[in-house]
């Protein structure tokens, strides 16, 4: 597309149309409406990003709590070295390392 961008309001102002004032309000309100739509879309994107961030933070906290719970559970089910008697140590099978 070639040429110069000319504002609609300027074209209407310089034309021989009747009711020029009413016609010049329309492009301005269209531009205002377009700006409002753009602002609303930006707000919506920010809200979506915030929702995703909150969801990821909640997942991370849940994973940390689960890991802590598993550590506590595993340490409570394994006997401590002091509670194992010498006879149990002799009869316990040797652990294989991988």
**Residue pair 78/95 in contact by the 8 Å Cβ criterion:** no
- Residue 91, both tokens: 């009869």
CB contact burial 23-56 (16+ within 10 A = b; e otherwise): bbeeeeeeeeeeeeeeeeeeeeeeeeeeeeeeee
pLDDT, residue 38, reads: 95
- Residue 82, both tokens: 């002091």
pLDDT, residue 25, reads: 61
* Residuewise pLDDT in 10s, the chain (98 residues): 577 887 777 777 778 777 766 666 666 677 788 899 999 999 999 999 999 999 999 999 999 999 999 999 988 876 655 655 666 556 555 555 54
**Residue pair 27/9 in contact by the 8 Å Cβ criterion:** yes
pLDDT, residue 48, reads: 97
The pTM (predicted TM-score) of the whole model is 0.47
Q: Domain extents for the chain? A: 35-66
pLDDT, residue 88, reads: 58
């Amino acid at each position: 597309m070639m040429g110069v961008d000319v504002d609609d309001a300027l074209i209407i102002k310089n034309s021989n149309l009747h009711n020029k004032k009413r016609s010049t309000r329309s492009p301005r309100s269209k531009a205002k409406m377009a700006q409002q739509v753009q602002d609303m879309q930006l707000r919506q994107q920010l809200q979506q990003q915030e929702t995703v961030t909150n969801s990821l933070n909640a997942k991370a906290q849940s994973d940390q709590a689960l890991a802590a719970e598993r550590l506590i559970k595993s340490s409570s089910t394994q006997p401590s070295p002091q509670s194992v008697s010498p006879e149990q140590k002799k009869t316990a099978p040797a652990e294989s390392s991988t």
